C-alpha cells in the first residue's frame, strides 16, 4: 500500500503544479518557435528553471524537491498541455538527475553541489569504443537522440567495457561534463521537433570510476548512493526510466480532448445537416470513446507510478513481475493515447492538419513519443506476457 504523502510533500506538489500551470500561456506562445527552431525556446528554459521544474528529481540535500513519481507525472503532463517538447525535455532531464542521485556523494557534489539546477541529458544505449586506464575509462563514440542536450550541463552515456578477448565485461552509465563533449545536429523528426534530441559525441574522453554505475547493478537495484534513507532513490530503475516517457503523452491527450470539445459548438460537419459537431451522435460517441481511453491511460500510468513509489517507501525493490507490468502499463499508455488521438483528430476534421491548428502538432508529438523503444506496446506486452507465462528467457534484461 502506498504510504500517504506528508503535508509537506502535498504542499510541495501543489506549489509545483501551480507553477507549471502558470507557465502554460508562455509555453503556448512559444510552441511554434520551439518547433521551428528544433529546440525549446530559451525563454521557456529560463522560466521553467526559475519555477524549480528542473529540480523535481534533485535530492533535497542540494535544494531539490525530490518529488514522488506520481507528482512528476502530474507536473510534466501539465506542461504538455501547451508544449509537448518542453514537457518532454523537463521530464527527460529530471530523469537524468534521478540517475545522478543514485551515484556516490562525491559525484553528486560535482553535479548538484556546483549547480542545483544542473541538467543532465542521457542516452542509455551503449555506443562507444573504450579502453581501461588507471582510475577509469577513456571513451570515444556517438550517442543518438539525447533529448534536451542543447540545454544540458552534463551528458549521461551508455558505455560498454570489453575484456582482452573482446567480450563485454560490463556496461555502464557514465557522466561527463558537457564541455568535454560535442553535439552533432541530427534531430530532424516530424514530431517532438523542439526536443533537440541531437547526437552526443565523445573523442578520447576520460571518465573516472566514481562517475560510472554498472547498468547490471542498476537494473537490479544495487545503487551507489550512501543516502539509503532517501526513498525516491530506492525506486526500481527500469520502471523509472519508462515512466519518465509517459507524462508528456497524458498532457498531450488532455489538450487534444479539450481542443476538440472546445471547438465542437463552433464547427459544422461538412456535407451533413449538422451545423455544430456537438449535435451529431456520431461525434458524441467518438468524443466519449476518446475520453474513456484517455482516462484509461491515466489509470495505468498512476497505478504504475504508485506501485514504484510504494515499494521504494517500504525499502523494497519492486519484484520482477511488477516491474514487467510497469513496462506493460507504460506501453498501454502509449497505445491508448495514440488510439484516442486518432479518434479525436478524425472527429475534429481535416482542419486538424492546418499548420495553424495545434491539433496537428499534438498528434505528431504524441505519435513520435509513443514510438520510443522503452514504451513500444508490442515489446512491453511481450515482456509482460513472458513473465506471466513463466517463460524463463525474456527478450531483454531491461525490466
CA dihedral 161, 104, 10, 16 (to 10 degrees): -70
Q: Residue 38: which pLDDT band, with cuts at 50, 70 and 90?
A: very high
**Looking at the predicted structure, is the pLDDT value of residue 4 above 80?**
no
What local confidence, expressed as pLDDT, does residue 166 receive? 81
**pLDDT, average across residues 194-205:** 97
What local confidence, expressed as pLDDT, does residue 308 receive? 98
Q: Is the dihedral of CA 118, 318, 301, 335 positive or negative?
A: positive
Cα–Cα distance measured from residue 82 to residue 356, given in angstroms and rounded to the nearest whole number: 14
What local confidence, expressed as pLDDT, does residue 204 receive? 97
Cα Rg of the chain, angstroms: 21
pTM: 0.97
Determine the 3-state secondary structure of 16 from DSSP.
helix
Q: Residue 1: which pLDDT band, with cuts at 50, 70 and 90?
A: low
**pLDDT, average across residues 349-356:** 92
What local confidence, expressed as pLDDT, does residue 132 receive? 94
What local confidence, expressed as pLDDT, does residue 7 receive? 87
CATH architecture of 237-389: Up-down Bundle (1.20)
**pLDDT, average across residues 277-304:** 98
| pLDDT above 70 as % of the chain | 99
What local confidence, expressed as pLDDT, does residue 272 receive? 96
| pLDDT above 90 as % of the chain | 94
How is 84-123 classified by DSSP, letter by letter? Answer: HHHHHHHHHHHHHHHHHTTS-HHHHIIIIIT-TT--EEEE
**pLDDT, average across residues 294-306:** 98
∠ CA(210), CA(142), CA(181), 5° rounding? 60
Which H, E and C letters describe 352-375, residue by residue? HHCCCCHHHHHHHHHHHHCCCHHH
Provide the 10 A C-beta neighbour count for residue 225. Answer: 18
**Looking at the predicted structure, is the pLDDT value of residue 193 above 80?**
yes
Cα–Cα distance measured from residue 108 to residue 96, given in angstroms and rounded to the nearest whole number: 12
Provide the residue count of the chain.
399
Whether the Cβ atoms of residue 375 and residue 246 lie closer than 8 Å to each other: yes
**pLDDT, average across residues 321-341:** 98
Least confidently predicted of 43-47, 82-86, 394-398: 394-398
Residue 25: exposure state from Cβ atoms within 10 A (0-12, 13-18, ≥19): exposed
Q: 4: which residues sit within 8 A by CB, 6+ positions away? A: none
State pLDDT tens for residues 89-144.
Answer: 999 999 999 999 999 999 999 999 999 999 999 999 997 789 999 999 999 999 99
**Looking at the predicted structure, is the pLDDT value of residue 43 above 90?**
yes
State the CATH class of domain 7-116.
mainly alpha
End-to-end CA distance of the chain: 22
**pLDDT, average across residues 343-348:** 96
What local confidence, expressed as pLDDT, does residue 315 receive? 96
Q: What is the mean pLDDT of the chain?
A: 96
Instruction: Give all strands (DSSP E) within the chain, no chain letters.
Output: 120-126, 129-133, 136-146, 154-162, 168-177, 182-184, 198-208, 212-214
Q: 35: which residues sit within 8 A by CB, 6+ positions away? A: 85, 193, 194, 361
* DSSP code of residue 3: P
Phi-psi region of 38 (alpha: psi -120 to 50; beta: other; left: phi over 0): left
**Looking at the predicted structure, is the pLDDT value of residue 159 above 80?**
yes
Strands 168-177 and 182-184, how do they pair? unpaired
> Where in the chain do CATH 2.40.110.10 domains reside?
120-217
Cα–Cα distance measured from residue 214 to residue 224, given in angstroms and rounded to the nearest whole number: 10
Cα–Cα distance measured from residue 120 to residue 148, given in angstroms and rounded to the nearest whole number: 8
**Looking at the predicted structure, is the pLDDT value of residue 395 above 90?**
yes
> Where in the chain do CATH 1.10.540.10 domains reside?
7-116
Does domain 120-217 match CATH 2.40.30.10? no
What local confidence, expressed as pLDDT, does residue 270 receive? 94
**Looking at the predicted structure, is the pLDDT value of residue 6 above 90?**
no
What local confidence, expressed as pLDDT, does residue 2 receive? 66
Amino acid at each position: 500500500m502506498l504510504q500517504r504523502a506528508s503535508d509537506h510533500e502535498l504542499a510541495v506538489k501543489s506549489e509545483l503544479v501551480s507553477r507549471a500551470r502558470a507557465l502554460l500561456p508562455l509555453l503556448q506562445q512559444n510552441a511554434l518557435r520551439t518547433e521551428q527552431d528544433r529546440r525549446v525556446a530559451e525563454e521557456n528554459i529560463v522560466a521553467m528553471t526559475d519555477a524549480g521544474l528542473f529540480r523535481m528529481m534533485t535530492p533535497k540535500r542540494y535544494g531539490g524537491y525530490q518529488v514522488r513519481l506520481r507528482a512528476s507525472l502530474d507536473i510534466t503532463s501539465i506542461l504538455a498541455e501547451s508544449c509537448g517538447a518542453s514537457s518532454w525535455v523537463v521530464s527527460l532531464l529530471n530523469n537524468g538527475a534521478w540517475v545522478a542521485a543514485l551515484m556516490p556523494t562525491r559525484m553528486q557534489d560535482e553535479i548538484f553541489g556546483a549547480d542545483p539546477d544542473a541538467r543532465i541529458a542521457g542516452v542509455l544505449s551503449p555506443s562507444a569504443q573504450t579502453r581501461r586506464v588507471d582510475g577509469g575509462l577513456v571513451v570515444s563514440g556517438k550517442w543518438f537522440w539525447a533529448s534536451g542536450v542543447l540545454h544540458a550541463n552534463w551528458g549521461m552515456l551508455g558505455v560498454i567495457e570489453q575484456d582482452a578477448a573482446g567480450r563485454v565485461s560490463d556496461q555502464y552509465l557514465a557522466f561527463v561534463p558537457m564541455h568535454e563533449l560535442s553535439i552533432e545536429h541530427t534531430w530532424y523528426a516530424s514530431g517532438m521537433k523542439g526536443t533537440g534530441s541531437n547526437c552526443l559525441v565523445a573523442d578520447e574522453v576520460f571518465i573516472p570510476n566514481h562517475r560510472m554505475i554498472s547498468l547490471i547493478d542498476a537494473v537490479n537495484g544495487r545503487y551507489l548512493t550512501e543516502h539509503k534513507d532517501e526513498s525516491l532513490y530506492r525506486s526500481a530503475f527500469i520502471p523509472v526510466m519508462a515512466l519518465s516517457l509517459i507524462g508528456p503523452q497524458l498532457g498531450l491527450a488532455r489538450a487534444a480532448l479539450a481542443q476538440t470539445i472546445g471547438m465542437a459548438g463552433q464547427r459544422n460537419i461538412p456535407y451533413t445537416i449538422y451545423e455544430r459537431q456537438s449535435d451529431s451522435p456520431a461525434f458524441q460517441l467518438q468524443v466519449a470513446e476518446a475520453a474513456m481511453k484517455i482516462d484509461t491511460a491515466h489509470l495505468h500510468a498512476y497505478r504504475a507510478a504508485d506501485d514504484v513509489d510504494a515499494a521504494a517507501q517500504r525499502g523494497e525493490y519492486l519484484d520482477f513481475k511488477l516491474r514487467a507490468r510497469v513496462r506493460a502499463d507504460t506501453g498501454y499508455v502509449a497505445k491508448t493515447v495514440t488510439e484516442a488521438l486518432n479518434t479525436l483528430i478524425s472527429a475534429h476534421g481535416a482542419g486538424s492538419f492546418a499548420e495553424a491548428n495545434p491539433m496537428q502538432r499534438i498528434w505528431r508529438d504524441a505519435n513520435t513519443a509513443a514510438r520510443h523503444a522503452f514504451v513500444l506496446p508490442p515489446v512491453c506486452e511481450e515482456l509482460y506476457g513472458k513473465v506471466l507465462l513463466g517463460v524463463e528467457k525474456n527478450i531483454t534484461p531491461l525490466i
